[in-house]
């Protein structure tokens, strides 16, 4: 699915980001310096939710769940930040949205170790730990959806690839916002969107060219660049990306390859949009629509269960699953 027209508010926000990149703030944003040590107000847990910080040796995780609500389903969230930026308040807001749209789903966000102090495979190891924590806490694989944006979107795919290669059961589905899937930067959009991307465009000195995470590793390793992996057997995927992104090809090529491997994939390209435009929340129509689309995907995943777990109502919905348009 491709939205054909950018909204007025969406275009204004994109242009505002472009203008900011032209100031002295631009370089530290593009290189990730601002992401390494973000200065943010203390986050306040929203009313009606329980919030817990889970210390896990060298890293921590954050667990958010509605008070008094048990859905039996969970989201494992892997945040973005080019593998050099840690947790920030935006992802705590994302967790709240995932829970709300999932009608009470619990959300575990992994504040994984980041480069350059902790290069590959630290982030993947911590993502695996987060997945295992949910299983040990009582969730089953078919009750878990893995979600991530940017580097976190690539990490979500890498996690699924690792689980498959270990002959383990996979999660129910994957949500990937502008996933960073090709750290070789081989896609055509790195060139044709070079001057259009308001966040990473017009420079090679940016996060998407950084070697801090991969260092001397082979960038075509599928656990680093999932584009080079085998997607056979993967669960349904929702991939969202903006048409102005240099990372556009990262999404398009993965969607194409996964579909050829027999996966159910919905690729939604939002016209005129920038990297992780979903952070605009409800301020622009494109972001609002993207979150609505995520809510619909979570609804579908709720009923996409193994046959032994289906009741009669579930079976009716499951029978229509193939009619949902994944392109």
Q: Which amino acids are annotated catalytic?
A: 150, 245, 275
Cis peptide, bond prior to residue 112, ω within 30 of zero: no
Element (H, E) at 61: strand 59-66
Q: In what order do the strands lie in the sheet with 49-56?
A: 2-3, 265-270, 237-242, 173-177, 144-149, 74-78, 106-111, 59-66, 49-56
Tell me the two tokens of residue 156. 């979500």
Backbone phi and psi for residue 267, each to the nearest 5 degrees, phi listed first = -105, 120
Query: How far is the first Cα of the chain from the last one, in angstroms, to the nearest whole number?
Result: 7
3-state secondary structure 232-295: CCCCCEEEEEECCCCCHHHHHHHHHHHHHCCCCEEEEEECCCCCCHHHHCCCCHHHHHHHHHHH
- Cβ–Cβ < 8 Å for 277, 270: yes
CA atoms of 243 and 320, how far apart (whole Å):
30
């Amino acid at each position: 699915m491709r939205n054909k027209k950018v909204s007025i508010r969406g275009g204004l926000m994109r242009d505002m980001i472009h203008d900011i990149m032209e100031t002295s703030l631009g370089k530290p944003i593009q290189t990730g310096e601002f992401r390494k040590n973000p200065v943010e107000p203390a986050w306040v847990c929203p009313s009606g939710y329980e919030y817990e910080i889970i210390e896990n040796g060298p890293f921590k995780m954050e667990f958010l769940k509605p008070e008094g609500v048990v859905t039996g389903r969970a989201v494992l969230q892997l945040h973005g930040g080019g593998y050099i930026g840690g947790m920030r308040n935006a992802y705590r807001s994302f967790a709240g949205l995932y829970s709300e749209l999932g009608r009470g789903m619990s959300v575990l966000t992994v504040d994984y170790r980041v480069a350059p102090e902790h290069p590959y495979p630290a982030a993947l190891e911590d993502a695996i730990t987060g997945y295992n924590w949910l299983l040990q806490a009582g969730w089953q694989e078919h009750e878990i959806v893995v979600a991530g944006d940017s580097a976190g979107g690539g990490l979500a795919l890498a996690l699924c690839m690792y689980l498959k290669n270990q002959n383990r059961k996979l999660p129910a589905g994957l949500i990937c916002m502008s996933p960073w899937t090709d750290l070789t930067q081989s896609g055509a959009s790195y060139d044709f969107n070079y001057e259009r991307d308001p966040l990473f465009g017009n420079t090679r000195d940016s996060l998407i060219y950084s070697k801090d995470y991969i260092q001397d590793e082979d960038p075509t390793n599928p656990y680093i660049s999932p584009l080079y992996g085998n997607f056979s057997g993967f669960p349904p995927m929702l991939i969202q990306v903006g048409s102005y992104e240099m990372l556009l090809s990262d999404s398009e090529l993965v969607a194409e390859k996964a579909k050829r491997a027999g996966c159910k994939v919905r690729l939604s390209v939002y016209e005129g949009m920038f990297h992780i435009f979903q952070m605009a929340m409800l301020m622009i129509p494109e972001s609002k629509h993207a979150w609505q689309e995520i809510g619909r995907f979570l609804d579908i995943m709720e009923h996409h269960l193994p046959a032994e777990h289906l009741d009669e109502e579930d079976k009716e919905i499951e029978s229509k699953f193939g009619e949902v348009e994944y392109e």
